[in-house]
Structure 1
Amino acid sequence: MQPLIVIPARYASTRYPGKPLVELTGATGEKKSLIQRSWEAAKQVGGDPRVVVATDDDRIRTAAEAFGAEVVMTSEGCRNGTERCAEAHKALGGAHDVIVNLQGDAPLTPHWFVEALIDALVEDADAGMATPVLRCDGRALNGFLEDRRAGRVGGTTAVFDAARHALYFSKEVIPFTSRSYEDDEATPVFHHVGVYAYRAQALKDYQGWPEGPLEQLEGLEQLRFLENGKPVRCVEVDARGRQFWELNNPEDVLRIEAMISEMSLI
């Protein structure tokens, strides 16, 4: 069945209000909003998925419809992107077997990351949700550590067991390593990429679970699955030479624009 890709977007971000409408300059000098670049990334996914923007804000709705996106309005009560995806799926009739949450602050997400998640749910009957992890090179790890030293919340890291089921996700850099790495050297740290693929039942169950203490502390929605004993499949993906970064803070704009330019993205 056709997968559904939902791009949750809210205007009232605590750390960066109005973030979905922030403009990012491409390699040719063309400016596009963060939400448009995320939508364009979703449209690259194979299998002819249905792609929708889910928001509670008319400003985002107007901007998204202007560049051709299908928009689903959701309530202001959604506490995170997963809850917004669940609302959007229900509003669309709840007929999709696999729902992908491609967060609106991750415009550099390669299409093969999403395709790998969908494949993983087919392979792993135990997992109700799958999410990608990317082994950090020294350049990426040093970026994480620089953010933490500056008191900024940067990327999320993940640790998992031999079956690739998640043990924990954190905004701290885990596992701890005391050594230094060259920019192009592989490290033992895995960057959790903020994309999720859910089975429909798992997404429905999620709405009925209360926020747990770890989710509240870390501000990471995927921890609700772990706190309720539900396996989360970590899918190691290959960046194929591409850089990846989420837009978490205003300081990330220049970093992402440099990556866009380096990859010659319009």
Structure 2
Amino acid sequence: MTATAIVIPARYASTRYPAKPLALLRGAGGEAKSLIRRSWEAAMAVPGVDHVVVATDDDRIREAAEAFGARVVMTPETCANGTERCAAALAGLPDAVDIVVNLQGDAPLTPAAMVTGLIERLRGGEGAGVATPALRCAPELYRRLVADQKAGRVGGTTVVLNRAGEALYFSKRVIPYVPEDRMDEPGLPVFLHVGVYGYTRAALTAYPTLALSPLETLEGLEQLRFLDAGLPVAVVEAEAADLWELNNPADVPVIEAMLAARGIA
């Protein structure tokens, strides 16, 4: 027997937004729920998933999550990123779990179909032990990313793929380079990465044992550790969707407006 699990990594000590998992977000109808609860509810709405757990190192998050019925796995404070926290959470999951999805605790608007697509890709047995989604950039989005880069802002992470649909590289710079006279072409191979990950148990178990990648430390992108070690990362092209992460207090009204527009209570 095999099983799937969604792990929601959550930490209290965020540099940009301390106590972020406990921030309240009002949905349609005005009910306020914490970010961690909304992330858990999004995970619970994914069909065919056997286990959903919150992985944290903080008792305040544990108490809040258990109060609304979530299962919590305590993980070390030393976890450097969400993938390490998911790997630490494996000890609290049944041995039958062979696929784990890392659903970021600050992205409650992640569509269920996006998670399902990662699970299906890993179940397909095409060789990759890691899968992650990306959105193909329309010309206007590409121009916005380039404008952000020129202004010194990080507008998102982009990824370039090989013919097998596996990642060649992820970067906070806009890649690949597109000449000015080709920016309006439809179907350009420019993909905006979405920070959701699916792992086989073997790949996730191996992650903490891999050497820290210099590229990972420069870019601040945890998935580069897999590529640096020669482990393939499959990229699943997802349908366009309005996604917004809660990174600072200014994001709260934006996400609340999206919750209301989608009728999410």
Alpha-carbon separation, structure 2, partners of 1:134 and 1:8: 23
Alpha-carbon separation, structure 2, partners of 1:235 and 1:138: 20
Counterpart in the other structure of 1:253: 252
CA contact (8 A) 1:214 1:223 kept: yes
Number of positions where the alignment pairs a residue of Structure 1 with one of Structure 2: 262
Secondary structure of residue in 2 paired with 1:97: strand
1:154–1:17: structure 2 CA closer, same or farther, 3 Å change rule?
A: farther
Given the alignment of the two structures, is residue 25 of structure 1 paired with residue 26 of structure 2, yes or no? yes
1:20–1:144: structure 2 CA closer, same or farther, 3 Å change rule?
A: farther
Task: With the length of structure 1 as denominator, give the TM-score of the two structures.
Answer: 0.89
Task: With the length of structure 2 as denominator, give the TM-score of the two structures.
Answer: 0.89
Kindly report which structure 2 residues correspond to 1:216-231, keeping only aligned pairs within 5 A, or say none.
216-231=217-232
Moved more, 254-263 or 165-174: 254-263
1:107–1:10: structure 2 CA closer, same or farther, 3 Å change rule?
A: same
Counterpart in the other structure of 1:263: 262
CA contact (8 A) 1:121 1:127 kept: yes
CA contact (8 A) 1:154 1:248 kept: no
CA contact (8 A) 1:155 1:245 kept: no
Alpha-carbon separation, structure 2, partners of 1:109 and 1:154: 18
Kindly report which structure 2 residues correspond to 1:1-266, keeping only aligned pairs within 5 A, or say none.
1-137=2-138, 140-141=141-142, 144=145, 148=149, 151-177=152-178, 178=180, 188-239=189-240, 242-266=241-265
Aligned-pair Cα RMSD in Å? 2.3
- Aligned residue identity for 2:261: E
Secondary structure of residue in 2 paired with 1:60: helix
- Aligned residue identity for 2:171: S
1:176–1:8: structure 2 CA closer, same or farther, 3 Å change rule?
A: same
Secondary structure of residue in 1 paired with 2:91: helix
1:150–1:18: structure 2 CA closer, same or farther, 3 Å change rule?
A: farther
CA deviation profile, 1:138-196 (whole Å, cap 9, x unmatched): 56556645654665544322111111010111222323344776xxx876432211111
Secondary structure of residue in 1 paired with 2:80: coil
1:141–1:243: structure 2 CA closer, same or farther, 3 Å change rule?
A: farther
1:146–1:35: structure 2 CA closer, same or farther, 3 Å change rule?
A: farther
Alpha-carbon separation, structure 2, partners of 1:42 and 1:237: 17
CA contact (8 A) 2:3 2:96 kept: no
1:147–1:40: structure 2 CA closer, same or farther, 3 Å change rule?
A: farther
Secondary structure of residue in 1 paired with 2:131: strand
CA deviation profile, 1:38-81 (whole Å, cap 9, x unmatched): 11111111114200000001111111111111001101010111
Report percent identity of matched pairs.
59
- Aligned residue identity for 1:34: L
CA contact (8 A) 1:155 1:246 kept: no
Alpha-carbon separation, structure 2, partners of 1:109 and 1:146: 26
Secondary structure of residue in 1 paired with 2:256: helix
Moved more, 6-15 or 246-255: 246-255
- Aligned residue identity for 2:259: I
